[in-house]
Amino acid sequence: MSSSTSPPTPADEIVSSGVVTADPYLAPHAPVLAARHAAYAKTKAAIEATSGSLTDFALGFNTFGLRRTDDGGWRYTEWAPAAAGLALVGPFNSWDVDAHRAEVDEYGVWRVTIPPHTLAPGDVVKTAVQMGPTAVHGALGEWHHRIPAWIERVEQDPETGAFHGVAVDSASEDYQWQAPRPVAPPGPGATEEPLIIYEAHIGIASEELAVGSYAHFTANVLPRIAALGYNTVQLMAVMEHVYYGSFGYQVTSFFAASSRYGSRIELKSLIDTAHSLGLRVLLDVVHSHASKNVLDGLNGFDGSDAGYFHAPPRGDHPLWDSRVFDYSQLEVLRFLLSNLRYWIDEFHFDGMRFDGVTSMLYTHHGVGMGFSGSYDEYFGADACVDTDAVVYLKLANELVHSLAAASGGSLVTIAEDVSGMPTLCRPVDEGGVGFDARLAMALPDMWIKLLKEVPDEEWNMGHLVHTLTNRRFNEATIAYAESHDQALVGDKTIAFWLMDADMYTHMSVLTSPTPRIDRGIALHKLIRALTYMLGGDGWLAFCGAEFGHPEWLDFPREGNSYSHKHAPALARPSRPAYVSAKHEADKIIAFDVSHAVVVFNFHPSSSFESYRYGGHARNALDTVFFSEPVPCGGRDHSILVYSPSRTVVVYKLRTVVVRAAKRPKVTLESLDLPGVRDEVAEMEDNEVVSAIEAMVLRMAHEILAEKGLTYEVPSRSSSNQQFVPELNRMVLKSKTTIRDFTGINSVRKTAITTRVLQLIHELCSKGIHVTKRDLFYTDVKLFEKQTDTDDILDDVATMIGCTRTSLNVVASEKGVVVGRVSFRDAGDLIDCTRMGVGGKAIPPFTDRITDIESDAEFILVVEKDAAFMRLAEDRFYNTYPCIIITAKGQPDVSTRRFLKRLKEELNLPVLGLFDSDPYGCRIFSVYTTGSKNLSYDSASLATPDIKWLGVRPSDLDRYNIPEQCRLPLSDRDITACHQLLKEEFIKCNPEWVKELKLMLKTKVKAEIQALATFGFTYLSETYLPQKLAAGDWI
């Protein structure tokens, strides 16, 4: 008998080539993973059959709920399959259920139209639902009031305390968004900056004994969050929840921003302001369950015990006393997916943190489960996984990520999951569930358990390291030391567990600290630092925890007489580190990360003045850092470190770029060179106007004297240029040419010169700036080509004796800057550490730049945009404090002037990163010695003494650049090399000559991108650090 197997399905192939390839241990469970993915594909196909696409399906908020019609009326739509009747009621129709009765279709969707001039924005509304045969929340035929399920505003009656819906015309709000989303925001991926999350509850993020507000948070808390170095804000309790003490986790109205904190516009302003500060904002989404409230929640909305939820007992969450969604129903999916899109589209949230994902994934909700990590717990016959919930989460993640491009930035999803389910944070198209990261929920549990049960002198270093680093490979994790749950009443914060009542009596400057306070402060710092550095790919801190919130949090409730007393709350995580020292007796944990050595000493009393450490064999620092030839830990080299008791010390290899001592400035005038033209100068608008008028007056006199119209123009030809070694830049010599109307060869140039002088006079008289392109289009027929007007602009500048920027004509923005510098541009503060991957465009009007401040150690000029983006995305300037600049190829005037200003005002050394080819060298020379075309303005454009860091021809063998990444020199390249060797500025630098001759000898070239053959982050994590450490520049 022959046997046969079924051919693989698309889901089988996706899982096999995706998550199973990434984790071969999943292979035995591939059929289960494929079945779940097939269920997702089937549901998605059903959605697309009805709505065209998943993103369109998630636009339910445009159809359901209360929506304004074109004629000024309203349309109300609601899903209530078990209802016998439905109406929209309120004071606007005297609560009359017959005034605006809805009609139902075969799917249980009710619709009613409210005529114009009947209902106004701000009016109170409720849904009247007539109980049907399956009703359990009222007798058959009775009418009961509910709050509309899709309502966008819910308010509480100050007299009765009851909640009601409010009619909102969101389209007419017309909020004018000012700041774009962070264009390339941080994320949990291996090549992105980690998420540094500040988790906040609007109502308690205040020192006042009252509920905080959106406006207060915007004005007082957001600036502090940005100043502390966080890049993400996660907002809790935004969706409306009737019971304030639920911390926002008993949601009653999913589309309504909580009105207790303020208006919808104020929430939008909060998010807009966050974006302007470079912060992304995540929404804490609760789709794992909903409030059991009937009068003001979704429970029993249509009178039945099901509707949006499973019928009991499956629809009841025993631990949370709440209702569980039925993810198998299409209308439930529409409601939840539309809810996600609504907050992204309407309020510009940048992603979501999904609450209670463990509860969603399993029919047992994780209650009483101690997940061991065995794959059978997730994929075995007894796994109790809710496939419908898995399907919903896949759809949710796909939706959010598909909306990213339309939103102008990336969107992030984070799962609160304690089970550790594999594939949860792998992409949907690989067969995963699709989250970007999960919360490391085991970490705060470990710390609280240790603080409660184990003296710190008995803490096991191996256990700490194992728990902190035990996470799924290639699935990002957000670390945190304590959760908001532990800060709530009934438990204690870490600070309170450590110091308890001594905080009230011995933390003042007026009293001496006790040993408990000294121990507590030290351990509080160590716990957070170790978790921050080893615990994950990102970091989260709950509001108030940044300064060790001392007690607990408690919301105003009946049990505390509605007191607000305990309601006010108010570096970078590493990539996986290699922990190579865990010494139990010494209580030492040491590891290498981010080109630094980190040493933790948890010992209560022992300090070590000379603790030998050799790092890990995979350490990229090698003997550059571990400089002593003394074996340690299996390595040939090591160093001695100082490790005081209960401290952490970070040893970082500092950049050895030394700022040059300021020397007396050599000027062209001081050299007194014969036959050289005077330097041009910066001129004010009125000075340029006067110079042009004097020139025109002189020409008028010549015309009256019958001498004709002529211009004397300084020659900018190659023969009239000179390299001055003392200045290390090009200058213009004194030769001039005569341009007049009588010569047939010069009449057109003379006419263009006259027209350009007229336009410059107008610009400077009015004090306005234009681009070169604008100038060209003022007289296209005369100018014909923009290159002609560009040349004349340079001629006019030399004739007047001013810099080209003094003419108020600039090039369009080209160059960009990112890194450790801030400045004001026309009064606006620009912080270049918060400019994302794209950087800040260098303003064309560099004269308007003021208040330049920086803590950088050097400036890095990069030839190409690709290398710039790599360094910006890797936040290289945080590891090696620097300012990174690129003009994306041949440098424009604004970029060169900006670099010159930074160099002079900050007195910083400048390093160059250029391709190892003749054109990279030529571009480098334009930065450092000036271009021949603009030699007359080299004083303000050239930045002498830029060091050539790389990529140099000698690097190709030194760094083992593969042959396939080396390109042969073309004949044109060889000619360009020979021309460069003839240049005076090259002859003055023997090291440059040596590199160019090596290029000619090997006849090969290479681009910066060739370094990516060793990995995309090789440039920022290996090549440049080694170069800087060795001082390898010329």
- Amino acid at residue number 780: V
Q: Are 1020 and 1010 in contact (CB under 8 A)?
A: no
Rounded to the nearest 10 degrees, how much is the dihedral formed by the CA atoms of 990, 992, 997, 998? 120
Q: Which amino acid is at 178?
A: Q
Sign of CA dihedral 904, 905, 910, 913: negative
Cβ neighbours of residue 696 under 8 Å, at least 6 residues apart? 757
Of the chain, the end-to-end C-alpha distance in Å amounts to 77
Other C-beta atoms within 10 Å of 296: how many?
23
Count of other CB atoms within 10 angstroms of residue 414: 30
- Asked if the bond preceding 313 is cis, omega within 30° of 0, the reply is yes
Length of the chain, in residues = 1034
Beta bridge partners of 858: 882
- Report phi then psi at 294, rounded to 5: -95, -45
DSSP 758-801: HHHHHHHHHT--EEHHHHHTTSHHHH-SHHHHHHHHHHHHHHHT
What is the distance between the alpha carbons of residues 182 and 204, in angstroms, rounded to a whole number? 27
3-state secondary structure 256-293: EECHHHCCHHHHHHHHHHHHHCCCEEEEEECCCCECCC
Q: Give me the catalytic one of 40, 342, 777, 927.
A: 777
Q: Which of 1024, 877, 836, 1022 is nearest to 187 (CA)?
A: 836
Residue labelled with tokens 């005037």? 893
Number of helices and strands in the chain (H, E): 37, 44
Q: Would residue 777 show up in a list of annotated catalytic residues for this protein?
A: yes
Q: Locate 108 and state its tokens.
A: 């249980």
Contact 360, 397 (CB under 8 A): no
Helix (H, G, I), strand (E, B) or coil at 540: strand
Interatomic CA distance for residues 379 and 421, integer angstroms: 9
How far apart, in whole angstroms, are the C-alpha atoms of residue 971 and residue 24?
Answer: 51
Instruction: Compute the C-alpha angle 338/342/343, nearest 5°.
Output: 130
Concatenating the DSSP letter of every residue in 216-272 gives HIIIIIHHHHHHTT--EEEEES-EE-S-GGGTT-S-SEEEEE-GGG--HHHHHHHHH
Give the pair of three-digit tokens for residue 828.
């606006």
Residue 338 near residue 61 (C-beta atoms within 8 A): yes
- E strands, 437-537, where? 437-439, 477-479
Integer Cα distance of 379 and 1014 in angstroms: 37
Residue 433 C-alpha from the chain's centroid: 23
Report d(CA 79, CA 102) in Å as an integer: 11
Which amino acid would we find at residue 873? E
Percentages helix, strand, coil for the chain (3-state, rounded to 5) are 40, 20, 45
Q: Where are the beta strands (DSSP E) in 69-210?
A: 74-79, 85-89, 103-104, 109-114, 124-130, 143-146, 154-156, 163-166, 196-201
Question: CA 50, CA 132: separation in Å to the nearest integer?
Answer: 28
Cis status, amide bond into 951, omega within 30 of 0: yes
632 DSSP 8-state letter = B
Q: At 989, which amino acid appears?
A: N
Q: Is 12 exposed, middle or buried (0-12, 13-18, 19+ CB in 10 A)?
A: buried
Q: Which residues are catalytic?
A: 777
